[in-house]
Amino acid sequence: MNDHSRSVHGIGMTSARTRARMIDRLVEQGIQNAKVLACFELVPRHLFVDEALGHKAYEDISVPIGYAQTLSQPYIVAKMSELVLQAPHHERVLEIGTGSGFQTCVLANLVDEVYSVERIAPLQQKAKSRLQQLNLKNVQLKMDDGFFGWPEEGPFDVIIGTAAPSEPPMELLDQLIPDGGRLIMPIGEEQQYLTVIDKVDDQITKTQIEPVVFVPMLSGVKNA
Ligand code: SAH
């Protein structure tokens, strides 16, 4: 074996082992959906964080992605993905807060069409190039203030938010399909809860899933 093949092989072995550990942990933490677990085995999480932090990508922690933002720990991304697949309809999904693009990539492997909005231009650009490299054909990205959703492409079966507003934004509720639409996002200020809002016959019911810590959802766009 020459040096090059040994190093490539070595990296592969390490990452297969760390990924397997991450999957075991997700199962222990209560993630059951086989499609979600398979997806976590497949998606190269380390490509979504800066190279220097690559070794931390599969640990049970959130990882900084710059601009005071973070990529959530694997459990939260998996839990939210499970809640997406448990929605009555989940073909067309809107994500608010593209960030690194990792949750976007996971969703793209689980549903038909993913739309994702990000308000910080450099993060959006980086996520765009990562997702292009992975050759995902079912993802549309937009640089904008996600409080307004993406009305031109709505309504959506599911809207998932990865930053926390103090109240569920009306514009997002309006962009859900009237019967069976679902909003999944952290909601709250000092204390946030991962919250599911289901819309049936235009009536909404709210369920708090668990306490969480997310970055706040902020208004307006940031170009640099
Ligand atoms: N899903 C991301 C998580 C990133 S953190 C990932 O997998 O990496 C949350 C992201 O939400 C940040 O990038 C932040 O800039 C973005 N965000 C916050 N408020 C927003 C808004 N109003 N519109 C769009 N994105 C927003």
Q: Is 5 a catalytic residue?
A: no
CA of 136 to the centre of ligand 1 (A): 20
CA 117 – ligand 1 centroid, Å: 8
Q: Which atom of ligand 1 is nearest to the CA of 146?
A: 23
CA-nearest residue for atom 4, ligand 1, is 99
Place of tokens 């904008």: 144
Would you say the CB of residue 59 lies under 6 angstroms from ligand 1?
no
Of 90, 88, 83, nearest to 210 by C-alpha is 83
Residue 1 has pLDDT above 70, yes or no: no
What is the percentage of the chain residues whose pLDDT exceeds 90? 88
Q: Where are the domains of the chain?
A: 60-212
CATH fold for the domain made of 60-212: Rossmann fold (3.40.50)
Spatial contact of 171 and 150, defined as CB atoms under 8 Å apart? no
**Eight-class DSSP state of 112:** S
pTM summary value? 0.94
Task: Give the residue from 219, 104, 94, 92 showing the smallest Cα distance to 166.
Answer: 219
pLDDT of 14? 54
Ligand 1 atom, smallest distance to 71 CA = 8
Looking from the CA of 155 toward its CB, the CA atoms found within 13 Å total: 16
Query: How confident is residue 16, by pLDDT bands cut at 50, 70 and 90?
Result: confident
